[in-house]
Amino acid sequence: MMLNLVPFVSVDKMMQLVLHLGIERVLIDLAAEIEADFRRWPLFDKTPRIASHSDVGVIELMPTSDGVTYGFKYVNGHPANMKQGLQTVTAFGLLADVATGYPVLLSEMTILTALRTAATSAMAAKHLAPKGATTMALIGNGAQAEFQALAFKAICGLTEVRLYDIDPAATAKCARNLAGSGLNVVQCATPEEAILGAQIITTVTADKTNATILTDNMLGAGVHINGVGGDCPGKTELHRDILLRSKIFVEYPAQTRVEGEIQQLDPDHPVTELWQVITGATQGRTSAAEVTLFDSVGFAIEDFAALRYILAKSKATGLYDNLDMIADPDDPRDLYGMILRAAG
């Protein structure tokens, strides 16, 4: 009667695990796991995430499988939540054994999604940003900002982060949290000031609108844009002119054309799949002057890699609980008898 118990990583256990391992170590490990799964991209079962939209937000399921393990994430996006003291994005995820269909892990993923998104961003930038990039503008200083800054420090050698948010309190919060991180943190009053001298520009804002965080005339040659916040229909951050002069990299085109910045472009506008850059099948950046854009919306394979990492680390450290989630009668055909016997 042990098969009914599913290992569960609660929010508290996830925080303990991240603190135990060290957040930069976790970000480096996650980037390596995600990169390894991008290298074997063709063997995954892939589908655009299944979204249920309402006026105020979206709830999505993101499944995938490598034929041995199945995983999915539940995630919502509700920009107005913040005003009520709620998270804009919350998530949890599950891994299961393909051979039996039995779950093997349930985990919180609000924290893990922030970690895996940042690790994916930095992993992509390692392949796409100009050589020797050390300064990043970070536009949008909400729940995901610090994770982005630390991932770029740990994985890309970032030394300076330049913060901007329409709400100065968010910028102050982010600067306070990053004090002592080893990064040179500069609080900026305008987006223009934030991008001064930055070789990398990360946009990670939350409004569910076609916002224009960056316009074309703000951008110099050779920058790498890490566009994180445009991730559902009607939610974009970049002016269309920026897209037209950038070389655009995406995770899974069928999903990104609906959800990403490129929803503003023709459906046949050329894009490059990031996994093909990683395997060497195609080129990433082709010149120092080129503007590269990672139009990141988040894909199920990133969550799959992150969940497998958490399963291994939680097992190794004992940082998990057991959840009585799967009915497991002694005789599998006697589900009803199990209930009857519970009365005794």
Which residues are tagged catalytic?
A: 231
Which listed range, 145-153, 154-162, 189-197, 307-315, lies at the site for a copy of itself (CB under 8 A)?
A: 145-153
Nearest alpha carbon to residue 149 among 130, 170, 174: 174
- For a copy of itself, which residue of 21, 24, 28, 74 counts as binding (CB under 8 A)? 74
Task: Quote the least distance from Cβ 331 to a copy of itself, whole Å.
Answer: 7
Query: How big is the CA angle at 83 (ends 82 and 89), to the nearest 5 degrees?
Result: 15
Binding to a copy of itself in span 77-116, by CB under 8 A: 77-78, 81-82, 84-88, 90, 92, 94, 96, 98-103, 108, 110-111, 114
Q: Which is nearer to a copy of itself, 265 or 325 (CB)?
A: 325
300, 73 Cβ separation under 8 angstroms: yes
Regarding 338 and contact with a copy of itself (CB under 8 A), the answer is yes
Regarding 231 and contact with a copy of itself (CB under 8 A), the answer is no
Task: Quote the least distance from Cβ 150 to a copy of itself, whole Å.
Answer: 8
Regarding 50 and contact with a copy of itself (CB under 8 A), the answer is yes
Regarding 28 and contact with a copy of itself (CB under 8 A), the answer is no
311, 71 Cβ separation under 8 angstroms: no
Angstrom distance (rounded) from CA 72 to CA 303: 8
Binding to a copy of itself in span 114-143, by CB under 8 A: 114, 141-143
Task: Quote the least distance from Cβ 77 to a copy of itself, whole Å.
Answer: 7
Q: Which is nearer to a copy of itself, 289 or 327 (CB)?
A: 327
Tokens coding 306: 């992150």
Binding to a copy of itself in span 300-329, by CB under 8 A: 323-329
Angstrom distance (rounded) from CA 139 to CA 200: 11
Convert 263-295 to b/e letters by CB count within 10 Å (16 or more is b).
Answer: bbbeeeeebbbbbebbeeeeebbeeeebbbbbb
Regarding 16 and contact with a copy of itself (CB under 8 A), the answer is yes
Task: Quote the least distance from Cβ 301 to a copy of itself, whole Å.
Answer: 13
Binding to a copy of itself in span 260-289, by CB under 8 A: none
What is the per-residue DSSP string for 304-339?
HHHHHHHHHHHHHHT--EEEE-S---SSTT-HHHHH
- For a copy of itself, which residue of 21, 23, 166, 265 counts as binding (CB under 8 A)? 23
What is the per-residue DSSP string for 23-59?
HHHHHHHHHHHHHHHHHTGGGSB----EEEE-SS-EE
Which positions from 173 to 202 touch a copy of itself by CB under 8 A, shown as an x/- string? x--xx-------------------------
